[in-house]
Amino acid sequence: MTMATRTESDWVNWHQLGCRPSHIAEPRSLAELRTVLREAAGRGSRVLVVGTGHSYNDLSLTSETLVTLKYLDRVEHIDVDQGLIRVQGGARLAELCTVLAGHHLAFAVLGDTAGQTIAGAISTGTHGTGLTKHSLSGQVAALQLMLADGSLREVSAESDPDLFQAARCSLGALGVVTAVTIRVVPAFTLCRVDRKVSTEEGLALVGDPPEIDHFKVWFLPYTDTAVTSSARSFPVSSPARPRTAQRLRESFLINGLMSAAGAVARQWPRGVPAMNRGMANLPMNSTVIDRSDRIFVLPISIMHDTFEYAVPLEHGRAAVQAMLDAIDSTRPPLALPCEVRFQPAEQGWLDPHYDQPSVCVGAAWHRGVDVSAFVRRVEEACRDLGGRPHWAKPHSLAAPDLAPLYPMWNRFQALRASLDPTGLFGSTAIDRYLGTNTSTREIPNS
């Protein structure tokens, strides 16, 4: 056993979901990682490489060999002129934001948190919002992959277009993403304006989203209230207003108020509609200006669960309407607002936004409340509208359901079989979502 491997200890992800891998490996070099892979293969154990375990489902859980790149987190190169940064796969987005700011650079877009690793974030198609703002995976210029046989591949759209499009969002099923070269932009300031509107106005904006850099709509269940969130970018020299009071307010709203709401949702679910109507009376209009990453990231610390489907843009309004109808008919104790975002078409073969600009229809709820009937209903509606689930958020689809949604599924599986013929990379979750290396290769695309 390598120095980097320990046996039979627990691994707990961000959501406090745990597993007991047979081995946990924390390699400190590519040579150690290669040894970890060789030893796992020798034991007949499959390898799951994880980031910080921010995925809401079981993607980062395994009973076999779990590898984290927590010690492979260095910045390898920054090219300010070209707007490129090359980092090791275990680097966390939050730390990278600070490094980039030091070079007057920034990520063009981030999601609601920056706690993830760069490799973990791209591997599930993590996105922010904005019809011209590509996901993190969409910003990748090149990848370094360690394959099952321990060899390293430097992959870009020019050097190996197929592997590049397959690997940029691949759930760890093709190999270990050991380094990522990602496009970055000159540092910028974001001015975010939140405005309370009616549900009908919110729906109309989902159907015809404005041309704003980063636009999203929150719908508050059981009320006639939605909040539009419009963030525009400015050169970094724009004056920033003092943010202390706003940060406190945001943190109070998201964590203080929402955790109190969670207690109600868990103990008195039927009180949620009245509580939400009360919350809808709170002042919600605000304007905040700050460094881009501080606006993108929400200070979320409450335990919650979520789902999200990427529905073709033209069906976005219908999908959100179906979600609101499902709230009315199934009466789930949803005390958190439903987040609706926008994404351009992506090129990664397994990106949920592959080849289709999408509306990302999501809902979130407090841990421990029962929303199963609601989720079933919305999933059905989103599937009927051609939606694809977020890889990192719970959904009921398995490989046979997912294959027809992805035109490049069979080519992905063929590459997977050729790069990893013994099925070294995998887990129970990967089997469910992507099938085993042999069983799903022949599933026909629709």
Ligand X SMILES: Cc1cc2nc3c(=O)[nH]c(=O)nc-3n(C[C@H](O)[C@H](O)[C@H](O)COP(=O)(O)OP(=O)(O)OC[C@H]3O[C@@H](n4cnc5c(N)ncnc54)[C@H](O)[C@@H]3O)c2cc1C
**Residue from the set 51, 312, 333, 357 that interacts with ligand X by CB under 6 A:** 51
Q: How far is the CB of 36 from ligand X (least distance, A)?
A: 12
DSSP H helices, 194-243, are: 199-207
348 is a site residue for ligand X (CB under 6 A): no
Helix (H) or strand (E) holding 218: strand 214-220
Residue 65 and residue 44: Cα distance in Å, rounded? 10
The DSSP output letter for 188 is E
The C-alpha atoms of residue 414 and residue 10 are separated, in whole angstroms, by 34
Q: Distance between CA atoms of 236 and 444, rounded to whole angstroms?
A: 50
Which of 47, 50, 265, 359 touches ligand X (CB under 6 A)? 50
* Residue appearing with tokens 């129970």: 428
Counting contacts by CB under 6 A, is residue 250 touching ligand X?
A: no
Q: Could you tell me the two tokens for 213?
A: 């850099």
Q: Which amino acid is at 16?
A: Q
Nearer to ligand X, 15 or 249 (CB): 15
Whether the Cβ atoms of residue 90 and residue 69 lie closer than 8 Å to each other: yes
Quick check: 171 binds ligand X (CB under 6 A)?
A: yes
Residue pointed to by tokens 């093709």: 174
The window from 119-127, 153-161, 232-240, 243-251 that contacts ligand X (CB under 6 A) reads 119-127
> At closest approach, how far in Å is the CB of 298 from ligand X?
8
Residue 347 is a binding residue for ligand X (CB under 6 A): no
Binding-site size, ligand X (CB under 6 A)? 31
**Residues making up the chain, counted from first to last:** 446
> How many other CB atoms are there within 10 angstroms of residue 433's CB atom?
22
147 touches ligand X by CB under 6 A: no
Closest CA to 89 of 117, 50, 56, 128: 117
**Candidate residues 111, 202, 209, 435; the one interacting with ligand X per rule CB under 6 A:** 111
Instruction: Provide, rounded to whole angstroms, the least separation between the CB of residue 218 and ligand X.
Output: 13
Q: In angstroms, what is the minimal distance from the CB of 113 to ligand X? A: 4
Question: Does 138 help bind ligand X (rule: CB under 6 A)?
Answer: no
State the nearest-atom distance from the C-beta of 353 to ligand X, in Å.
10
Options 30, 300, 398, 443; binder of ligand X; rule CB under 6 A: 300
Name the residues that contact ligand X, by CB under 6 A.
14, 48-55, 59-60, 69, 89, 111-113, 116-117, 119-121, 123-124, 126-127, 171-172, 176-177, 300, 392
